[in-house]
Each structure stands twice: as C-alpha cells, then as structure tokens.
Chain A
Amino acid sequence: MSALWLLPLALAVPLLLAAISALPVIRDRSLSLAILAPLPGLAAAFLAPRGEVLVLPDLVLGVTLALSEAGALFLGGASFLWLMAGIYSRFYMRGKDRAGNFALFWNLCLAGNLGVFIAADAITFYVAFALVSLMAFPLVIHDRSAKALKAGVAYIVLAVIGEAALLAGLILSSGAAGGVADISALADAIWLSADRPLILTLLITGFGIKAGLVPLHIWLPVAHPAAPVPASAVLSGAIVKAGIFGLIAFLPLGDSLPATGNTLMTLGFLGAFGAALYGLTQDDPKAVLAYSTVSQMGLIIGTVGAGLAAGLEAALVIMAVTIYALHHGLAKGALFLGVGAMAAASGAAARRQRLILALVALSVAGLPLTGGALAKLALKAPLDGVSEMLITASAFTTLLLLAHFLSLLKPESTGESRAPVMRSLPVAALSLAALALPWTIWNLSGLPLDYTWRQDNLLTAGVPLLLAAIVASVAGRLAFKLPHAPQGDLLALVYTFSRRIALPTQRHISKAGVTLTQLIRLRPLRHADWLKQFADRSEGTLAAALPTLLVTLILALALLAL
C-alpha cells in the first residue's frame, strides 16, 4: 500500500467525522474529535508521492486525486492551520452552545478545503470548492448575532454567484478540452479555445470572489471578523487560499495574455494598497486583519497577473505564489487566533502574547531574515519593473496596517494571566511555523540561500519598514486620530443603495422572501409591478381560454389532415 492512499483519507476522515458528529452519543465530543480531522491531510502533504494520480471511478463523476509540489505546500499549510485552529476551538467553544453544530460544519468545510488542493480533475475540484464555499456559511453565522447574519447573507450571495460563474467556466473549458476534465489538460484547452475571454472572465470571477479580488472582495472584510475566532483564522488563512490555488491551477500560465494579465495585476495591486489603507480606518482588530488579508491576496493576485501578462514560466510563478501563500496562511492564522488569545489574557501572558504577535506582524511585513522576508523575496524573484517595486513598497503599508492592528489589541483585565495550553500552543506553533518554514523549503524557490542576506535585498526590505516604523511612532506620539469608515467599504455602498433606492421601489412587490431575495432584487424596476400583473393576468386568461382554443385548433388540423 503506497502513501497515495493518504489522499482519499484526507477527505474521508473529516467527512466521516462530520457524518458521525450528528449522532447524539458523539455530539458532545465531536469538537475534540474534529482536532483529528486534518491529520491525514498533514501526513499526505509529507508522505504522499507527487504527481501520481489516484482514480476512484465510482464516486461522483469519477474522482481523481493527485498531489503536485505546489499542492503539497498548500495542503500541508492548510492542514496544519486547521489542526491548530481545531485545538484552539476546544478552548474557544468551551461553555458555548451548539459546539456539535460547529464541529459538523467545521469538518465539512475542512474536507472541501483540503479537497481543492488535491483534486486532479475539474469536477472533483468543483465539488470540493462548493463544499468549502457553502459550508463556510454556517461557520460565519455561528454566533447568530445580527451582525453575523448580515455578514453571512453578503457572504452567501457572493459565494453562490462565484459558484455559478465557476461552474460555467469549468463546463466551457472541459467542453473545449473535448469532454475531458483533467486539470492538467484544461489550461491548454483554455488557451486554444475560441471562448477564451469568456472562460477567463468566468474563472477569475469565481476564484476572485473566494480570494478577495477587488472589487469582488466586499464580503471578506465583514464575514471574516463576524465568524468565531478559530473560524476566522481558517477563513483568512486557509479558505481564501482555495481561490488562489484555483487561479494558479486553471489560468494558462506560461502563455502571454497581456489584457487579462494586466487587468488582474491592476486589480491585485489596487487591492494590495487600497485595502491596507482602508484597513487603517477600522477599529475592530479582526476587521483590520481581514483588510490585511485582502491586501496580501492582492499582492499574490498582482503577481499572478504580472506573470500572465509577461508569459512567465508557469512553474516559477506558481512556486513564488505558493511560498508566499504558505507563509501568509500560517501568519494570518496566528494573528487571528492571537486576537482571541489576547482578549482572554492579562498580565504576563498578555505581554508574551503581544510580543509574539508583533514578531509575526513584522514577518508579514517582510522584516529581513524572517520567514515573511523570504516569502517576499520568492514572490518578487520572477518579476521585474513596476510590479517588483510595488511589492517592495507594499511593506510600508503592510507594516502601518499591522501596527494599527497591534495598537488595537487590548488585553482583558479580568482574563487569566496563566494561559491554558489549548490557547497558547496554537498561536505559538503557528507563529514559529510562519517564521521558520520558509527557510526549510527555500530550495523550492530555486534561489541560492545567500540570496536571502544579500545586501541589496536587506536594504530594499528594510527601508520601507523603517519609514513605516517612523511614521507609526510619530503618529502614536502625536496621538494622531485615524478617520473612521464603515466596515465593508463597497458593501456599505450596496446597503445604502438598497436602503435609499431599491427598497422603496420594491415595497409593492410581494413581501415573501427575505434579505437574500432583497439583495438579488436590487435592480430598481419600477415596472416590476406591471410585469407581475401582466404575468398573473395572462396566466389567468390562459387557464380560462387556452384549452378551448387548443381543442378547436386541433380539431381543425385533424380535419385538414384527414
């Protein structure tokens, strides 16, 4: 038995745990069991052979699983984060309601998330992607607060639109590949297809919604903070990566597509800087982190776009993006869990916690010789010109944003000064992994080890950080007050629009259906009433008169025929 069998196990174990978590006997323990769920995935990331395909022909439309080099890093990082967040959730959910519910959707979402990284065909990929998308909804709204529900609605509307776009894109590209759905065959088929612009638009929309591509990111800054802390950590650390992975797996990298590439690059860097600046207006630390996620994903998307525009070799772009995504996942997971840990800590534990988080934040910003700096070097390596400069400059805004984040962390005075291990271990382990892991996988980047401490690299990484530190400390000294803006930037505009314009016009339309339909009915159709009456009246007329007409017509026809 080869280690290839770890791949189906990585999906089967969480699914099985989800299935049995509904049993009354298991229900109360299901959250403890959920800790085990990501273990086969983690083992697979280390042990499963790369590139071999496992076929399970009887499941769905023939499930095929395989692990690529990049997929293994995504899988390993995500499994580790899910594991740590799972341990943390034992602490977090203590004494809270509906822990069994949480465990059920946690496991389903986990299975989908890991499935995305090991699917070898478009259908399996889509099944996994839909699972992680839709099962994240119950995690987002777990608290049932008004804020969480509102965020959940925004999330699910965009998730459904994303799924629809993705399905259309995948059908078109599988069709273009002659009915074959192998992911490795699709990129070429997309490149050759006559529908290429349409397919690319659909796929980028589907993946972009998940990955927080501006302007499709609007759900992210409201949904990530609304979820319980461990769920926020996996949403920001692992689930957004499903979108990134989709982009690098399906886009025809290696071919030069200037229009698509430049659009993607523009939107990516717009998000990278725009979200970081907008995040400064937030006063909820989790919202700040969510904006930081949009910003960091913007850098990745910008890089993918630049690579696509220039037709850079696929393997280079993919590995650069993968190392960066791995570091971001671990670091962002640590930061989100840290928010929860800080809220429950005081005294020495709080000080220790803050120190760790500060170090992780510096790593994300790219402090030389940290894991984050390596990730950033790897990301920049294939690029040149403007995009490389923008990534360098982004360290400035990233550090400002994370300094703002650190200043918002207020330890609870009533919290425990001795941290329970369920709380401190996950943060510490994720932080350590974020700082150290890029060193251990540096050889995958194809760059020499001394590249990391070359003088010019240290300089370009250090200068923006120094500037940011000066600005931050001056602002702190002067007690500079940041402006405040609503959480969910463009989404707030949508809400305003629906309140001011769409809702009054649709007041006459039937009262059935709740917020979701309201969002979907945003089109301010004044003649909707008229349409409705027309439909009703014509159906009424049909019901009364049509049969008679039909019979007459048929009899006439029959006479003619005979």
Chain B
Amino acid sequence: MSAEILIPILLLLAPLIPAVASALLAGHSNWRNTVNIAFALFKLALVTYALAGVASGAEYEWRIAFVPGLDMVLRLDALALLFVTLSGVLWTATTLYAIAYLKGTPHQARFFAFFNLCVVAASGIAMSGSLITFFVFYELLTLATWPLVVHTGSAKAMAAGRTYLAYTLAGSAALLAGIVWLESGAGPVEFALGADLSSFSPAAASLIFALLIGGLGAKSALIPLHPWLPAAMAAPAPVSALLHAVAVVKAGAFGVVRVIYDVYGIETVAALGLGIPLAALASATIIYGSLQALRQSDIKKRLAYSTVSQVSYIILGASLAGPFAVIGGLVHLVHQGLMKITLFFGAGVLAERANITGIAQMDGIGRRMPVTLAAFSIASLGMIGVPPVAGFVSKWYLGMGGYQSGANWVIGVLIISSLLNAAYFLPMLYRAWLKPAAETLPSRQQLAASRTWLLILPGAFTAAAALGAGLFAGFELSPLGWATLIAERIYLR
C-alpha cells in the first residue's frame, strides 16, 4: 500500500528525469535517446499498472503542504488516468518520431529537455487534485512549450511564440483571477469534493465560471481565443503533434472538463444556465474552425484549424449535461489525439522527405509514400466521422448526448462539421492518391534511399490505434470503455 502512494510521483518523475538528463547529456545523442525511450517505456508500464488498479476502484493520492493551508494534491482518479494514458502513449510515439525528425539538427538537447518538461506538466495537470495544483502545472506547461514553439528560431517562429505567449498568459491571468475569486469565498477547492458556492450570488458564480472557462479556453483554442494555434504551426512537426494532440490544447479542454464536473458539478452548471451558452460557443468554434480550415492552402495550417474545430467537440460534450454527451466528450479527448497526431506525423514526413508543405503539392504522393499516406487517410476519414474509425464513436455519442439534453441542434452542428471535414480532407486524399505525380516529386528510388522507419512507423501505429479504438470500442479497456467508467463514477457520486 505504501508503495502505491508513489505512483503519482513516479508518473511525474518518469518524464522529469529524461528532461534533466537531456539537458545534461548535450552532445551525447545516443545516451540521450536511450534515456528518453527507456523512461517513456517505464511510464507506459506504470500507466498499465495504474489502469488495472483504478479500474478495480483504487485511487492513488499524494499530498504535501504547498503553503500552510494550501495543499499540493496529486490524485490519480479515472479521469486523470484517461489523460495520463493518452499522454503516455502519444509521448512514446512522439519521442521516437522526434528522434528521427531532429536527427542532425542543432539544439536537440534543449528540445528534448523542454519536450519532456511539457510532458511533466501535462501529467501534472492530469493528476492535479486541487485547483491550485492544477494552476501551477498549467503555468509550467505554458512556459515549457514556448521554447519548443520558437525552436527553429526563424522570424516567423519568434512571432508565433510571441502570439502564443500573449494568449496563453492572458488566459492564465484570467484563470488565476477566477481561482483567487473562487477560493476567496469557497476556500481551497479540491476536485474530489467540488467547490462550495453557497457564499456566491448566481451572478458572481457565473462570472467566475466565465473567467475560468475563458482562461482555459485560451489554450483549448475556443473562438475568439484561437489565433495562436494556427500561427504556432511554424514549430517543427513533433511540436505540432504535441501541441495539438497531447499537451497544450488538451490541457485546456481537460481543464474545462474538470471545472464543469469537479469544481462546479454538472447540476450546478445546469442550474446556473451556463451549459447551453458554452455549448453554443463550442459549436460556433466547431463550425468556424472547419470553415477556416477549408480555406487554407497549407497542410499544417489546415490541420491547425481542424484542431480548433475538433477540440471543441470535447467542450461541447462537457457542456451538454447527460451521460452520452459526457462519454462522447471524454472519449474524443483520446480519439482526437490519436487521429490528429497521425495527421501531423504525416504532414511532418511529407515536409521532411518530399519537401511538401502545400496541399497543391500533394499530387500523386500516395503511391510514392504509401504507408504514410495510408495512415494519413485513415486519420482523415476518422476526422470526418467515417466508421469504424474512432471519430465515429465520438460523433455518435455526442449526437445522442445532444438528443438527450433536448438540444437537437447539436446533431445539426455535428453533421455540418462532418460535411465540412469531408470537404477539406477528401480533396487532400484525392490529390495524393488520384492525381498524377508532379515532375518535382522525388522518385521512388530517392525516397527509398532516404527512408527512415522511425519517422514512418509512429504514424502507422497511431493510425492503427485510431482504427482499433473504433473497431474494438466495446472492450472494457478501450477509450470508450474507460470514458463510460468515468461517466458512471461522475453520475453515481
């Protein structure tokens, strides 16, 4: 039993040790890679152990006084573990990918140090048991991501970094203001207990909610707080994968989920009438992001707007009370991660190996790079919501959730979003597979000579995972099974 208290700590240390080691081992790339991979695998083993424990009802908690009266709490419940597992699996894939992607480029030690620090922060956000712990890790994430966004050092990257900081710091300020206001009346808020809002008038409680969601919405790219995300596509591909699928936008969305379920509680949010406005904002983001994605001619930029749109599915699910919507939103946290990381891995491979960044350049690339494009295609179809890829499962649950909450318009939003997704993903697939290859495209021989499986296989793996998550959604330990478990615990409380 005493050893089990260590699990949250070990889950934090697993990425922290390689973060420090990467900084220290500058110049020893083989050692650094070994340490990175070893600890990623170690974390996966820990996650597996914890999954078995939490599934059978255990909760691991570790706390220490931060300042007197304010505890740092790390608590591994089912919801935390959903995010930890996602970040653990995708972190491993991204580490392998990043090793291949950055091979031979400068500043790798810096990159891997901050990269791992981001994962520390993401794990911390997931496991935070109190609002203040959450905020500390949330800030760590903001700051640890910045060096990654500006990694290339180009003027464009620096500008993107400034935009990123401006938005996320403003968001953090809002979040902090909200937390301080809330805790001034309700005392320290722990997620296991929720906040006691009795000392606030409904208007004040609503305003605090708006501050919290606004602060978190900056990271999860809710309109109008989204422009940093498309700008940040100036970062290298592994960073985009991390921003879009594992850490940053997910941290924001996860925070929204925590605030709704574990700070305010579903009933309070519904009683204050805050759910529907948030659902409407999320819906507007879904449609707006898709419309903007349709207009982009750059692959990564199109994918970035697609993230703006897809992450709001999670928020939509959280804001519509009702078991189906809860499950749909939570499961999309995982599904969107698997699919979007596949797409960014693919975009990175295209840019790196064939020098393709624009959609118009994709003509005929499918038959030259079949594995990458097959993975890309599966993920694209999943984003559209084609069964049996994972995206369909999210869509079905969200749609049913909308119906259950008496908000039939949600189904309309989902359908329009699906159609827009089809309109911006299918032309890319059409170009890649059916258009004749351009003269400038590297030949099959050239590509075979430069082939690095480490760059190709992570995408193939995540695509297979996205397909598997949909095809075997009925299993107990599938993302859907786990989300159902969380929803049951939320509603039985």
Contacts and interface: CB of A to CB of B under 8 A. Distances in A.
A171 interface: yes
B177 A554 contact: yes
Interface in B287-302: 292, 294-297
B474 interface: yes
A478 interface: no
A160 B387 contact: no
Given A61-B396, A539-B227, A547-B170, A167 B385 contact: yes
A512 B395 contact: no
A543 B419 contact: no
A127 B391 CA distance: 12
Contacts of A174: 400
Contact of A164 (B177, B225, B415): B415
B371 to A, nearest CB: 10
A161 B419 contact: yes
Contacts of B163: 543
A506 B165 CA distance: 37
Interface SS of B by simple majority: helix
Contacts of A179: 324, 400, 404
A31 B163 CA distance: 55
Contacts of A311: none
Interface string A137-157: 000010010000100010010
Contacts of B404: 175, 179
B427 A517 contact: yes
Given A174-B400, A175-B403, A547 B166 contact: yes
A532 B386 CA distance: 29
Interface stretch (A52-60, A86-94, A328-336, A346-354): A52-60
Interface in B270-315: 292, 294-297
Contacts of B228: 543
Contacts of A512: 295-297, 358-360
Nearest to A173: B403
B473 interface: yes
Nearest to A156: B426
A550 interface: yes
B297 A510 contact: yes
Contacts of B324: 179
A516 B430 contact: yes
Interface SS of A by simple majority: helix
Interface residues of B, number: 66
Contact of A58 (B359, B411, B475): B475
A386 interface: no
B110 interface: no
Interface in B407-426: 408, 411-412, 414-415, 418-419, 422-424, 426
Nearest to A128: B387
Contacts of B435: 514
Contacts of B294: 513, 517
B173, B395, B435 pick with most chain A CB within 10 angstroms: B173
Contacts of A547: 166-167, 169-170
B343 interface: no
Interface in A493-544: 509-517, 520, 532, 535, 539, 542-543
Nearest to B470: A60
Contacts of B167: 546-547
Contacts of A175: 399-400, 403-404
Nearest to A547: B166
Interface in B224-279: 224-225, 227-228, 231
Contact of A62 (B408, B414, B474): B474
B451 to A, nearest CB: 16
Interface string B149-180: 00000000000000100110111011001001
Nearest to B295: A510
A134 interface: yes
B173 A551 contact: yes
A544 to B, nearest CB: 9
A171 B403 contact: yes
B60 interface: no
A513 B358 CA distance: 11
B224 A61 contact: no
Given A179-B400, A539-B227, A141 B427 contact: no
Interface in A160-177: 160-161, 163-165, 167-168, 171-172, 174-176
Contact of B427 (A123, A510, A514): A514
A542 B415 CA distance: 29
Given A167-B415, A179-B324, A517-B294, A172 B174 contact: no
Given A561-B177, A561-B181, A160 B426 contact: yes
B475 A149 contact: no
A234 to B, nearest CB: 21
B427 A57 contact: no
A195 interface: yes
Contacts of A126: 387
Given A171-B396, A175-B400, A554 B227 contact: no
A354 B423 CA distance: 45
Given A130-B386, A175-B403, 8 more contacts: A56-B474, A161-B419, A167-B396, A511-B360, A547-B170, A554-B173, A554-B211, A561-B180
Interface of A: 56-63, 123, 126-127, 130-131, 134, 141, 144, 149, 153, 156, 160-161, 163-165, 167-168, 171-172, 174-176, 179, 195, 509-517, 520, 532, 535, 539, 542-543, 546-548, 550-551, 554-555, 557-558, 561-562
Interface of B: 163, 166-167, 169-171, 173-174, 177, 180-181, 184, 207, 211, 214, 224-225, 227-228, 231, 292, 294-297, 324, 358-360, 381, 384-388, 392-393, 395-396, 399-400, 403-404, 408, 411-412, 414-415, 418-419, 422-424, 426-427, 430-431, 434-435, 470-475, 480
23 contacts: A57-B474, A58-B475, A59-B471, A60-B393, A60-B471, A60-B473, A61-B396, A160-B419, A164-B415, A164-B422, A168-B412, A175-B403, A539-B227, A546-B167, A546-B224, A547-B166, A547-B169, A550-B214, A554-B173, A554-B174, A554-B211, A561-B180, A561-B181
Q: Top 9 closest A-B pairs, CB basis?
A: A175-B403, A512-B297, A547-B166, A171-B399, A550-B170, A127-B387, A58-B474, A558-B177, A561-B181
